Structure 1
Amino acid sequence: MILPIVAYGDPVLRKVGKELDKDYPNLKELLANMWETMYNANGVGLAAPQIGLPIRLFLVDTTPFADDEDLSPEEQKALSGFKKTFINAQMVEETGKEWPFNEGCLSIPDIREDVQRKDTITISYLDENFKPLTETYNGLLARVIQHEYDHIEGILFTDKLSSLKKRLLKGRLTNISKGKINVDYRMRFPDMKKGR
């Protein structure tokens, strides 16, 4: 089932997610719905807060990036078919040089900005079978995981922009929260009732 994606301005996007256990109700169904929702919106990642659930859960599928001709064959191979579920993730370490990449977010449609992030991460998490894993990623894989991890920490990519950039985007962000935007996937707008 395709779920509505929560738009910028909803308080759930600012909550630090709570951990979940094996008994979380209907987890398999929730995961199936999240994958379907993400693919329907042409996303490469989706975090539970983006569908209104303040829990430590996110998905990543970087396959669409594998076709980028600017990437090395090694990077393309790493991105191709990389599809994972991250439950109760904890960032262990972020290292390496910071580099800019143009990021967007399904909760903040039609806004893309360059964001600086570290090149390499080590992250601990549980997979969909609650198997504990600690893995290290770099480059674009690390970037996508960092972006989704931020969601379960109540952080949006716009928080990482300069104060000037934030001021320039303020009107557009307000319009998003009021639903004054055209998107081709289902969304839930926090301020749609107000000032429309």
Structure 2
Amino acid sequence: MAIRKIVIYPAEILEQTCKPVEKFDKKLAKVLDDMYDTMIEYDGVGLAAPQIGLDARIAIVDIDDELGTIEMVNPRVIKTEGEQTGPEGCLSFPDLFGEVTRPNFVMIEAYDRKGRKYSLEAEGFLARAIQHEIDHLDGILFTTKVTRYLEEDELKGVESE
């Protein structure tokens, strides 16, 4: 396990569409383990491969709920519904937070570290975190969706994704 360096904006890789993962092997498992350690070290709730300099469709989310860590390899959004607006941050944009509107419900399909396909439905904050990370894999940054930036005193309890 290793803590990887977080890629900070304006690094080019953050705005690129990532390549699909084709090999489900020990190297992928190590990347996922490193991503988890890195996310915890930097106090995030999600992390995408380009945020550690990798051009691969890999992301994780862990919002400290009963689901634990969600590993998403080659994730695809199947369906979204509703709307929610709330604060978001990003480990690649230290100390920057903004209000973002996203669907309140998301259904995704993805693969786990062993190459098994699964689908997942999420609502609320988990749906927000999943969509934020999948956006990273498509080179879409939360700053392109911010309706207004937040001041430090508005940030009580906001976590970075």
TM-score range, shorter chain: 0.7 to 0.9
Moved over 3 A (4+): none
Aligned ranges 1:28-107 → 2 under 5 Å: 28-63=29-64, 79-96=65-82, 98-107=83-92
Q: In the comparison of the two structures, how many residue pairs are matched?
A: 149
Deviations 1:100-149 (A, max 9, x none): 11100000010111100111111010011111012211111101100101
Q: Which residue of 1 aligns with 2:155?
A: none
Deviations 1:58-86 (A, max 9, x none): 011110xxxxxxxxxxxxxxx34431100
CA distance in 1 between counterparts of 2:135 and 2:63 reads 17
Give the structure with higher Rg (CA).
Answer: 1
Verify: 1:22 aligned to 2:8, yes or no: no
CA distance in 2 between counterparts of 1:36 and 1:84 reads 14
SS for the counterpart of 1:5 is coil
**Could you state the TM-score of these two structures normalised by the residue count of structure 1?**
0.72
Q: Identity rate of aligned residues, in percent? A: 38
SS for the counterpart of 1:55 is coil
Question: CA 1:81 to 1:125, structure 2 compared with 1: closer, same or farther past 3 Å?
Answer: closer
**Could you state the TM-score of these two structures normalised by the residue count of structure 2?**
0.86
The answer for unaligned runs of 5 or more in structure 1 is 64-78, 167-196
Aligned-residue CA RMSD (Å):
1.7
Q: Which residue of 2 aligns with 1:136?
A: 121
CA distance in 1 between counterparts of 2:84 and 2:144 reads 16
The answer for unaligned runs of 5 or more in structure 2 is 150-161
CA distance in 2 between counterparts of 1:135 and 1:35 reads 19
